[in-house]
Structure 1
Amino acid sequence: MKAVLFANTDWYLYNFRRALATSLQRAGYDVLLISPPGPYGNRLRGLGLRWESLPMQRRSLNPLRELALLWHLTRLLRRERPALVHGFTIKCAVYGSLAARLAGIPARVNAVAGMGYVFTSSHVKARLLRPVVRGLLRLALGGRDARLILQNADDVELFRRAGLVDPAHIRLIRGSGVDCAQFAGISRQAPDDGCPRILLASRLLWDKGVGEYVAAIRQLRSQGRMLQALLAGTPDPGNPAAVPEPTIREWVDEGLLTWLGHVDDMAGLLGSVDIVVLPSYREGLPRTLVEAAACGLPLITTDVPGCREVVSDGVDGLLVPMGNSDALALAIARLQDHPAFARQLGEAARRKARMQFDERIVIQRTMAVYAELRDLRAASAESSV
């Protein structure tokens, strides 16, 4: 059985789905990974996985370029003849599913991690695109041989209310999975000197709460608090909500934070910090929080879809209102002033990560969706004989 996994970056496939791809290989699948070109394609090949690049531009709205991409995808799928296509993120879900329909591929699986820029932004461009994307989603996600994987209960309800897909075809699988054993086994290196190291690690987008994080740190520093603020990640030029690099360098020059840029060794970084924050506006299910939870770190995040799947306020982390830098500053100060409470939250977060978000659970449930569609096709073939 052949499966095609389609994402909008090779970085995503390598960091979030390589465990799924290798597990599929071990289970006897012939796996092809496809994405726009990038430096992680060769890393995937180095793992013994097939990877091909696509002429795809994430921000493109050029109709001719988009039609060319759709035609390229359709020809690729006709050549490969997979049993199923699994697309990640909204654009890949739409294009992968449309190409699969045109190529006569029997099964389509789509995983949408959050609603993306078009649905979360209030910008005019996003509002204009919204009805178009809704129509494309209805066309792409429909059909008895399609399944939609969502990462949190809020998105499940949103898709049901919007009528974008038959609710019977929605499957809830929380996140892309984390190797909890790897993160639980790291050695903590953060010094116990009363100066906590605070980390925000994400794509550097305004809707990840980067502005609120900086404002909270500025407020805490004005109160004379000793702390070290870290920012990990890079601006995403393919996203209209990207934080400009000159703005980040201004914060660094002001002495507010240390900018680490892209970090490959997240386990090592998490072992060197005391608190992890993510003041995001909306998520599918944030991997950074799950990795930090697996390390036993106290978490602070926003009371929004996706984030509240990982954190229950006062139980395994703290929740603050979205867009509220004052509340974020208060939460950081609370953990700084009460280290025993912070440790209690971190241990509870570790237990929750192991029980709900381990990659073995996610991969098992994803492969069950594949098997469901395979069995449905087999039953259809028997009934037609």
Structure 2
Amino acid sequence: MLGEFQVTEPKAKVLFLATVYTHLAAFHLPFMQLLQDKGCEVHAAASPAEGRKEEVEAIGVRCWDIPFARSPYSPKNLKAFRELRRLLETHRFALIHVHTPVAAFLGRYLAKVTGQGSVLYTAHGFHFYQGAPLRNWLIYCTAERLAARWTDGLIVINREDFDIARRILGFKSGKNLFYVPGVGVELDRFGPSGSPPEKGIRSELGLAPEDIVVTCVAEMSRDKNHGLLLAAWKELASRHTNCHLILVGTGELLPRWKKRVEAEHIPRVHFLGYRRDVPQILRESDVAVLTSRREGLPRSLMEAMAAGLPVVATDVRGSRDLVEHGRMGFLVKLGDVEGLADALERLIKDRELREALGRAGRKKITAFSLDRVLKEMEAIYARFLSGVVG
């Protein structure tokens, strides 16, 4: 099979490149390990500013700190450009797999001018999309059209991006354009595990067995749009006193949302910060919610569906790839506070509906399993490592 390969060139090097190590640690460790198992020497380059570099190093990946900034306008990226160029001038990689807009653009250009091997780019959600601001189309779409000439293979994770890549960027399906269903979800890790533990999240928060738990797992950023969720929760919580909102995640807007909850006296909102026990938190939840302004293919929804939860999400690219309205949850329009509150209320009030939608979601998400994604990525890696594999 095309996807079954083993590196024959001694110590063939592969580089994973992203703006920050947090991205690589959160989404790409299984793919790094896949390439290690195939005989590759795996390297990573990213900024350590947000942490989690140690998780990448822990699996035997050699890390190179490059001071990228998330904003394409930051002057820090000039220094990042120089340091990445120095790295690529002293190492030759058989394959470079780039992620995130800033690192991906600079990495693709420098890979070509320094004579590297194949360059793969995974777009985790283009910044230009249906409904995006005109500025995004002018800046990011222009950059992607320019970078297309330096891209040997483009991987997209939702259907809208696939269409844009084909129609606007000029990629060809099966030749240099590939749809992969996200970064994969470990079905067994998030599946049911019997009775709730004595010291689970419900015990930690002092909740009663009959209390309804609504959980949102998301970075506290503008894109994740927690303001909409808090506005709907304020309205909903006044009508139902047995429901609790759990917010898992950190980010620059965390202090703002804490202040808002306190200032507006929004009841029963629990900020948990960064947690390593997300699978267990989801098992003890009743509903999952995600109110993003934009998505690529949200893994937090995939994990919630794997845990058998009904989901409520905004009707945006990526989320609608996962959620069929009325079948495994509900989709609401961006900015629709009342619609979001109503959708959550339907699930809070109806246990049978929660269970039915949760079962449907669990069934659908099998198509997005990590095992399946690993097989598809193995085939893509084999194609672009063709010069060093047997």
The TM-score normalised by the length of structure 2 is 0.86
Change (3 A) 1:166 1:95: farther
1:24-74 CA distances to partner (integer Å, 9 max, x unpaired)?
A: 1111111111210153112222222222211222236245x4333223212
Amino acid at match of 2:165: F
Query: 1:370 aligns to what?
Result: 381
Whether 2:371 is the aligned partner of 1:360: answer yes
Query: 1:216 aligns to what?
Result: 232
Q: Provide the C-alpha distance between the structure 2 equivalents of 1:284 and 1:187, rounded to a whole number of angstroms.
A: 32
Whether 2:112 is the aligned partner of 1:101: answer yes
1:135-170 CA distances to partner (integer Å, 9 max, x unpaired)?
A: 332232225x61111110011112334336455522
Change (3 A) 1:87 1:120: farther
Query: 1:7 aligns to what?
Result: 18
Query: 1:61 aligns to what?
Result: 73
Deviation of the 1:20 alpha carbon: 1.0
8 Å Cα contact 2:72/2:102 also seen in 1: no
Whether 2:38 is the aligned partner of 1:27: answer yes
1:96-117 CA distances to partner (integer Å, 9 max, x unpaired)?
A: 1011011111211001111238
Q: Provide the C-alpha distance between the structure 1 equivalents of 2:245 and 2:195, rounded to a whole number of angstroms.
A: 18
Amino acid at match of 1:149: I
**Which residue among 261, 267, 276 is the counterpart of 2:273?**
261
Q: Provide the C-alpha distance between the structure 2 equivalents of 1:358 and 1:312, rounded to a whole number of angstroms.
A: 18
Deviation of the 1:133 alpha carbon: 3.2
Change (3 A) 1:185 1:49: farther
Change (3 A) 1:166 1:361: same
Deviation of the 1:353 alpha carbon: 1.7
Deviation of the 1:178 alpha carbon: 1.5
3-state DSSP class of the match of 1:7? strand
Whether 2:242 is the aligned partner of 1:235: answer no
Whether 2:291 is the aligned partner of 1:279: answer yes
Whether 2:82 is the aligned partner of 1:71: answer yes
Whether 2:308 is the aligned partner of 1:288: answer no
**Gap regions ≥5 residues in structure 2:** 1-11, 197-201
8 Å Cα contact 2:305/2:358 also seen in 1: yes
8 Å Cα contact 1:176/1:362 also seen in 2: yes
Query: 1:181 aligns to what?
Result: 188
Query: 1:156 aligns to what?
Result: 162
User: What does residue range 305-324 of structure 1 map to in structure 2 within 5 Å?
Assistant: 305-324=317-336
Q: Provide the C-alpha distance between the structure 1 equivalents of 2:136 and 2:190, rounded to a whole number of angstroms.
A: 40
Whether 2:94 is the aligned partner of 1:83: answer yes
Bigger shift: residues 69-78 or 329-338? 69-78
Q: Provide the C-alpha distance between the structure 1 equivalents of 2:326 and 2:157, rounded to a whole number of angstroms.
A: 22
Change (3 A) 1:15 1:135: same
1:269-326 CA distances to partner (integer Å, 9 max, x unpaired)?
A: 2122111001212211001011111111111112221001111122222222222121
Query: 1:383 aligns to what?
Result: none
Q: Provide the C-alpha distance between the structure 2 equivalents of 1:186 and 1:52, rounded to a whole number of angstroms.
A: 39
Bigger shift: residues 74-83 or 251-260? 251-260
3-state DSSP class of the match of 2:324? coil
Deviation of the 1:21 alpha carbon: 0.8
1:243-268 CA distances to partner (integer Å, 9 max, x unpaired)?
A: 36134233046243111112222112
The TM-score normalised by the length of structure 1 is 0.87
Q: Provide the C-alpha distance between the structure 2 equivalents of 1:185 and 1:193, rounded to a whole number of angstroms.
A: 17
More helix by share: 1
User: What does residue range 31-42 of structure 1 map to in structure 2 within 5 Å?
Assistant: 31-38=42-49, 39-42=51-54
Q: Provide the C-alpha distance between the structure 2 equivalents of 1:224 and 1:276, rounded to a whole number of angstroms.
A: 17
Identity, % of aligned pairs? 27
User: What does residue range 90-129 of structure 1 map to in structure 2 within 5 Å?
Assistant: 90-116=101-127, 122=133, 128=135
Whether 2:259 is the aligned partner of 1:249: answer yes
Query: 1:332 aligns to what?
Result: 344
8 Å Cα contact 2:311/2:330 also seen in 1: yes
8 Å Cα contact 1:150/1:172 also seen in 2: yes
8 Å Cα contact 1:300/1:331 also seen in 2: yes
Higher RCO, Cα 8 Å, sep 6+ = 2
Query: 1:146 aligns to what?
Result: 152
8 Å Cα contact 1:186/1:295 also seen in 2: no
Q: Provide the C-alpha distance between the structure 1 equivalents of 2:192 and 2:91, rounded to a whole number of angstroms.
A: 41
Q: Provide the C-alpha distance between the structure 1 equivalents of 2:313 and 2:235, rounded to a whole number of angstroms.
A: 18
